[in-house]
Amino acid sequence: MITSGGIEALELICKTFLDSGDAVVVEGPTYLGAIMAFRGYDAELVTVPMDEEGLRVDELAGQLAAGLRPKLLYTIPDHQNPAGVSLSAERREALVELARRYGFVIVEDVAYRELHFGEDTLPSLWSLAPDTVVQAGTTSKTFLPGVRLGWAAGPAEIATQLVSAKQNTDQCAGALGQRMLEEYIRRGWIDEQLVQSRALYRRKGERLLAALERSMPAGTSWTRTAGGFYSWLTIPGCDTTALTARAAEAGVGIVPGALFYADGRGGENVRLSFSMVEESLIDEGVERLASLLG
């Protein structure tokens, strides 16, 4: 099913599945737009922590064994926003088995999947369990941000419900954007663009990590992404909401971590994004941010 962007796919999934009070498991931290979408349908958000290998599936298993019964689980398994980490292969297998055992649907957001820096990619959750996974994606990261197109794929009975929800919302996504994307794919231009995009974001990501290594004071830590746009900075003892305002005054744009948690955590975290900033400004930006932590 084609949608008008990835966030609309989430809205349609909410509209199809959720009743007030239904439990939805999210990663901690997770995409702010997803938190807002689920809250808009009065879902009860349950946060499961992450580490360098992605969602703590063992923690989820413990909560399920203790009685948690979610209707949905939302995850960004590849180059996660905002943490920048990816779900390990072992955990992917374990997660889909939990979904089958306990009867919940996994919503797999693949917005950053094609923007990997290496040659190898892990299997998508949808490829592992098409019977219990709904995959949602967007072209805004790989085609043109202004062409609002996304998609959702899942089991036939779920896809049928999503199509009905889409028709009751806005009939269909814009035909011009669909036709542009079709021609771009048909001519092979999207493949050429992805090669260039991966190389660009890899250079920026490596430059950001090198700058953090050089400039950040002892005690801070950050994730080392292998794709996508983000690194997740942890600054013990720092009020990062206040830091964000001070950084803005110094000409540096960061996002405080509390926005990416459904349960109020993240006060010592910052999302760093290297997607839009000019490559030549990354070093100076990190130096300015580090100077505020002295």
Q: Tell me the pLDDT band of 167, cut-offs 50, 70 and 90.
A: low
Domain tally, the chain:
2
Domain boundary among 151, 185, 219: 185
Task: Say yes or no: 70 and 178 in one domain.
Answer: yes
The model's pTM: 0.92
Task: Say yes or no: 204 and 178 in one domain.
Answer: no
Domain boundary among 161, 185, 209: 185
Task: Say yes or no: 160 and 216 in one domain.
Answer: no
Is 70 exceeded by the pLDDT of residue 177?
Answer: yes
- For residue 259, the enclosing domain spans 191-291
The per-residue pLDDT for 146 is 67
Least confident of 74-83, 175-184, 285-294: 175-184
Is 80 exceeded by the pLDDT of residue 3?
Answer: no
Q: Cα separation of 29 and 105, whole Å?
A: 20
Task: Say yes or no: 90 and 38 in one domain.
Answer: yes
CATH for 196: 3.90.1150.10
The per-residue pLDDT for 172 is 63
Mind listing the pLDDT tens digit for each residue in 56-100?
999 999 999 999 999 999 999 999 999 999 999 999 999 999 999
Phi-psi label, residue 100: left if phi above 0, alpha if psi -120 to 50, beta otherwise? alpha
Task: Say yes or no: 168 and 209 in one domain.
Answer: no
Task: Say yes or no: 16 and 147 in one domain.
Answer: yes
Task: Say yes or no: 148 and 203 in one domain.
Answer: no
Mind listing the pLDDT tens digit for each residue in 201-219?
999 999 999 999 999 999 9
The per-residue pLDDT for 123 is 97
CATH for 68: 3.40.640.10
The per-residue pLDDT for 2 is 59
Domain boundary among 185, 202, 229: 185
Q: Cα separation of 92 and 88, whole Å?
A: 6
Task: Say yes or no: 79 and 147 in one domain.
Answer: yes
Mind listing the pLDDT tens digit for each residue in 141-164?
887 666 668 888 999 999 888 878
Q: Cα separation of 235 and 169, whole Å?
A: 43
Q: Cα separation of 294 and 272, whole Å?
A: 19
Higher pLDDT, 166 or 282: 282
